[in-house]
Amino acid sequence: MEKTIGKKLYELRKQSGFTQDYVAEKLGVSAQAVSKWENDIACPDIMTLPNIANLYDITIDELFKSDNVQSKVKYEKTEKINENELLVRVYVDSANGDNVKVSVPYPIVKEMANVGKSISSVVSGVDLSGVDFETVFAMVEKGMLGEFVNVKSQNGDIVRVVVEK
């Protein structure tokens, strides 16, 4: 039987020696919200997930990863990267059977982020607002390429973001 997100949050908090009040204060939520998460009554807001991951020194993928399945997010470190040769590929397999595949030159995605525009405006109908592209940019600058995001949304859509040559 797989652990729920609530059970994982409870275990992470206990392993870290934190109280619900401490977690609530660090995340800017109420202790009641933390209790509801841990008891699977409610789920954390998607915008809170990076803060939860930082608090417990894990990745968001580790939070959602099944205990008996390896993470599907993969990347590799390369020596030198010419950003002008890179593409950001977004793959969406929607729950209703639609498949969306979009490739956008990396410099354009980066510039869009710099001017506050979301790549979601290019990928019509797909909400990528929860994707932390700043972290992706930082990893690419350190020489890493590959699949950075692989998530299944609440409505069953599978979204993958890949940076490659």
Of the segments 30-34, 39-43, 116-120, which one has the largest average pLDDT value?
30-34
Which ranges in 17-159 belong to alpha helices (H)? 20-27, 31-38, 49-55, 60-64, 106-114, 133-141
**Kind and range of the H or E run holding 101:** strand 99-105
pLDDT at 31 exceeding the cut of 90: yes
| Euclidean distance between CA atoms 141 and 138, whole angstroms | 5
What are the pLDDT digits (tens) for 64-76?
775 543 444 455 5
Record: fold of 5-64? 434 Repressor (Amino-terminal Domain) (1.10.260)
User: Tens digit of pLDDT for each residue in 89-136?
Assistant: 888 887 788 888 888 888 888 888 777 666 665 565 666 666 777 888
- Domain assignments of the chain as residue spans, ordered by start: 5-64, 75-164
